[in-house]
Structure 1
Amino acid sequence: MSATTPRLSPPFRADHIGSLKRPAVLLKRRDEFDEGRCTREELASVEDEAIRAIVDMQRSAGIKAITDGEFRRHMFYEGVFDNLDGMKYIPVVPLDWFMDYVPDVDAFKKQNFKGAPSYVCEGKLKRTKPFYVGQYEALKRLTAPEEHKHLKITMCAPEWFHLRHGPYAYNKSVYASDEEYFADVVQAYREELLALYAAGCRNIQFDDPLLAYFCDTKMLSGMAAVGVDSDALLNLYCQVYIDILQGREQDMPEMVVGVHLCRGNFRGGRHFSEGGYDRIAIKLFQEIPADTYYLEYETERAGTFEPLRWLPRNKSVVLGLVSSKFPKIEDKAELIKRVHEAAAIIADGEEKRSKEEALNQICISPQCGFASHSDGNPVTEEDVVRKLALVSETARTIWSDA
């Protein structure tokens, strides 16, 4: 692959973020498991059946970067810190351990939020068991061999609990600084990526709404009010990605790495933050060593396409133009128009290129998953099928290789 060729397969021209609408039978069985009324094996059997159906749906809709819909999780961010030695589960975290400047925390506290279960670091962090390898292997068993290299695994953002809990994220007697804490986080992620690669995984996506929070002026002003240097913190988080992905071209040469940014995707289609990517575009596109960026762009709260002018020629962007939050179907002609608008800005960006080359760096998808949490958004399974089919149809219209 040349230095100016984006990795586009995977991701494919028509993609989706990862989570899909969970069927009622799966939600019922998971409730039974949580209440101790069924075994893990009984839950896994229902999960397998539901994933078989959702895989068939993705195939029928024309989606090739198949996921398991995150059907084996309650929440999209599960997998890492709940499996990492040194993290302690706390059923009800004290309210003051949640940072008010974090947009979703602020929203919850305004709704009489009394604290919630979470994880904090109480000991040295160490990966002693897989995070996502089991989910990838299970998905392999439910798909054809020729599909395995395209299967996508979504991963928790490495800074997830650090931003939420601030100075309470880790015990200061264990780690003297953020850099020490993240050094062990980085090691754990590197070990997991290598294990996924050895298992055959070639397509991963970091789910990181927190990076988009740095576009929100309300969070930035809230940080400043309590003496948190938002620029330094963003630099730290970018460095964490750099360290996690260091040496990837040698150790995992075929691995495609994506980073997904959104502004919240909670019950009722709720978002938490607003603001365009302008504040973070250079760091996002030119410092974080990802291959592709899944960006929310279905409403004005994400700003304009102008930040795409910083997209390098060897990377791609997946435009989240279709809403996963609500059932209303988008207009195909409008989607096509917006893709071409984005291509024109990329072409006239800091690295000049033809519009044809810029168009070749674009894919499309919904702006977020259809069920970042187990309850999902106010859409039906039929709505999901229609939305994904629209993504595929639009891609085929724009790109002959879709």
Structure 2
Amino acid sequence: MNMIQIGKHDHVGSFLRTDAIKDARKAYINDELTAEALRQVEDVEIEKLVKKQIDLGIKAITDGEFRRSWFMHDFFWGVEGVSFEAVEKGYDFVGQTTRAESFKVTDKISFGNHEMVNDLKFLVDVVEKYGDGSQFAKYTIPAPTMFFQRVISEKEKEIYPNIEDLAADLIKVYQDAIQAFYDAGCRYLQFDECILSALDDPKLASIMENFTGLKLTDTTDLFVRVIKESLKNKPEDMIVATHMCKGNYKSAYLYTSGYETVSTYFDELGYDVYLLEYDDERSGGFEPLANIKNEDTQVVLGVVTSKTPELEDTHALKEKVKAASEHFPLERLVISPQCGFASTEEGNSLSEEEQWGKMEHIIKLSNEIW
């Protein structure tokens, strides 16, 4: 078994959409551009993005989520038995409210012939075309728990009267997704998580109960089991990571939570890599890292914020890594931005130049530390 090495710097996956992408998507929405023509624009811009990442020295290469509107909704919209839903109100972040879009279950769910498999194949081919063999495609999808971050309708309750039945089908969706992405050439798959990552924020319980009608205390064990079962058949030479996010929309956040509670599940969940936000005090201290006993697990410290353009002080960042190493071995630590630069197509409040400045800062810092 030859598992890829992610190196000492990583990134969460999404990048600011280029003007060409924004213009093409707007034209497509206004029926001024066909789906085929939109995809051609996306192809060109993704090729440019891949070359940019390779030129900077990045090894884990993504498509920047350039084909998506949301980091999570687009994946679920592509699942059979799921469709787009316009809702009365978007998600309430601190100082921002998202677009009022979601997804709904209209039939029994299955992975089916998901269009993102072709998106991944394109990325793999482009990485091979421009890389030197040391780079690899990294693909991001929402964690299975994110399927529950929405209002569950009465119609859906008729399709799935029992949440255990829904969970069983959701597990199968993810097992099939992992295998399909693997067969398409993916060796680094990332699940983006915004529920388990916020277990220590009291706000999460009320949000989840309002969405699903279920108490968080009754569903946490279910969520952990869904992830474990989703991962249990993953190929041995495939890395499956999770990004523990606190929300990222137009530089706004949703939750304030450390990792005290969720870290007690880290060994049980079965991920190979944990990408953890550590850009400010909202994420708490590094002590929970000591709860990871599996000696093969890696931790990616998101010490550089993706929400603002300013570059953090190098000495302060090194001190953060040093503090983390008191609770987790330095040789298994990696650094990255705290989140993506555009978890939705709107993007965060910084320029493309500032975004790449952040990535260069991280790469330089990683070379100095390791």
Q: Name the structure 2 match of 1:247.
A: 233
2:303 counterpart SS class: strand
Q: Name the structure 2 match of 1:365.
A: 336
Distance 1:129 1:305 in 2: 41
Distance 1:342 1:66 in 2: 26
Decide whether aligned partners of structure 1 residues 149 and 236 sit closer, same or farther in structure 2, where only a CA change above 3 A counts. farther
TM-aligned CA deviation for residue 332 of structure 1: 1.6
Distance 1:395 1:308 in 2: 20
Decide whether aligned partners of structure 1 residues 204 and 382 sit closer, same or farther in structure 2, where only a CA change above 3 A counts. same
When the two structures are superposed, what TM-score results if normalisation uses the length of structure 1? 0.85
Q: Does residue 1:40 correspond to 2:11, yes or no? A: no
TM-aligned CA deviation for residue 60 of structure 1: 2.4
Q: Name the structure 1 match of 2:267.
A: 286
Q: Does residue 1:324 correspond to 2:319, yes or no? A: no
1:124 counterpart SS class: strand
Distance 1:202 1:217 in 2: 36
TM-aligned CA deviation for residue 221 of structure 1: 5.8
Q: Does residue 1:141 correspond to 2:135, yes or no? A: no
When the two structures are superposed, what TM-score results if normalisation uses the length of structure 2? 0.92
User: Is residue 298–residue 332 contact of structure 2 (8 Å, CA) maintained in 1?
Assistant: yes
Q: For structure 1, which segment, 322-331 or 59-68, has the greater mean C-alpha deviation from structure 2 after superposition?
A: 59-68
Distance 1:161 1:213 in 2: 16
In structure 2, list runs of 5 or more residues that go unmatched.
Answer: none
Distance 1:170 1:19 in 2: 34
Q: For structure 1, which segment, 193-202 or 142-151, has the greater mean C-alpha deviation from structure 2 after superposition?
A: 142-151
1:128 counterpart SS class: coil
Distance 2:154 2:345 in 1: 25
Q: Name the structure 1 match of 2:114.
A: 130
TM-aligned CA deviation for residue 296 of structure 1: 0.5
Q: Name the structure 2 match of 1:93.
A: 87
1:164 counterpart SS class: coil
TM-aligned CA deviation for residue 369 of structure 1: 0.4
TM-aligned CA deviation for residue 35 of structure 1: 1.4
Task: Report 1:304-315 matches (<5 A).
Answer: 304-312=285-293, 313-315=295-297
User: Is residue 117–residue 181 contact of structure 2 (8 Å, CA) maintained in 1?
Assistant: yes
User: Is residue 59–residue 135 contact of structure 2 (8 Å, CA) maintained in 1?
Assistant: no
1:320 counterpart SS class: strand
User: Is residue 207–residue 261 contact of structure 1 (8 Å, CA) maintained in 2?
Assistant: yes
Q: Does residue 1:339 correspond to 2:321, yes or no? A: yes
1:14 counterpart SS class: coil
Q: Does residue 1:164 correspond to 2:158, yes or no? A: no
User: Is residue 325–residue 379 contact of structure 1 (8 Å, CA) maintained in 2?
Assistant: yes
Distance 1:45 1:120 in 2: 29
Distance 2:350 2:154 in 1: 35
Q: Does residue 1:206 correspond to 2:177, yes or no? A: no
Q: Name the structure 2 match of 1:353.
A: none
Q: Name the structure 1 match of 2:70.
A: 75
> What amino acid maps onto 1:290 in structure 2?
Y
Q: Name the structure 2 match of 1:53.
A: 48
1:298 counterpart SS class: coil
TM-aligned CA deviation for residue 54 of structure 1: 1.4
Distance 2:358 2:347 in 1: 15
Distance 2:232 2:97 in 1: 43
Decide whether aligned partners of structure 1 residues 157 and 214 sit closer, same or farther in structure 2, where only a CA change above 3 A counts. same
User: Is residue 214–residue 279 contact of structure 1 (8 Å, CA) maintained in 2?
Assistant: yes
Q: For structure 1, which segment, 44-53 or 221-230, has the greater mean C-alpha deviation from structure 2 after superposition?
A: 221-230
Decide whether aligned partners of structure 1 residues 232 and 33 sit closer, same or farther in structure 2, where only a CA change above 3 A counts. same
TM-aligned CA deviation for residue 322 of structure 1: 0.4
Q: Does residue 1:16 correspond to 2:1, yes or no? A: no
CA RMSD of aligned residues (A): 2.5
2:87 counterpart SS class: coil
Decide whether aligned partners of structure 1 residues 149 and 176 sit closer, same or farther in structure 2, where only a CA change above 3 A counts. farther
CA deviations over 1:323-343 (Å, ceiling 9, x no partner): 111100011222122111101
Decide whether aligned partners of structure 1 residues 240 and 23 sit closer, same or farther in structure 2, where only a CA change above 3 A counts. same
CA deviations over 1:302-348 (Å, ceiling 9, x no partner): 111111111222201000000111100011222122111101122xx
TM-aligned CA deviation for residue 106 of structure 1: 4.3
TM-aligned CA deviation for residue 300 of structure 1: 0.3
TM-aligned CA deviation for residue 49 of structure 1: 1.8
Distance 2:115 2:272 in 1: 22
Q: For structure 1, which segment, 125-134 or 231-240, has the greater mean C-alpha deviation from structure 2 after superposition?
A: 125-134
TM-aligned CA deviation for residue 12 of structure 1: 2.3
Q: Name the structure 1 match of 2:220.
A: 234
Sequence identity percentage: 33
User: Is residue 10–residue 256 contact of structure 1 (8 Å, CA) maintained in 2?
Assistant: no
TM-aligned CA deviation for residue 224 of structure 1: 7.8
User: Is residue 148–residue 200 contact of structure 1 (8 Å, CA) maintained in 2?
Assistant: no
Decide whether aligned partners of structure 1 residues 169 and 309 sit closer, same or farther in structure 2, where only a CA change above 3 A counts. farther
In structure 1, list runs of 5 or more residues that go unmatched.
Answer: 96-103, 347-357
> What amino acid maps onto 2:311 in structure 1?
I
2:76 counterpart SS class: coil
TM-aligned CA deviation for residue 227 of structure 1: 7.7
Distance 1:295 1:169 in 2: 36
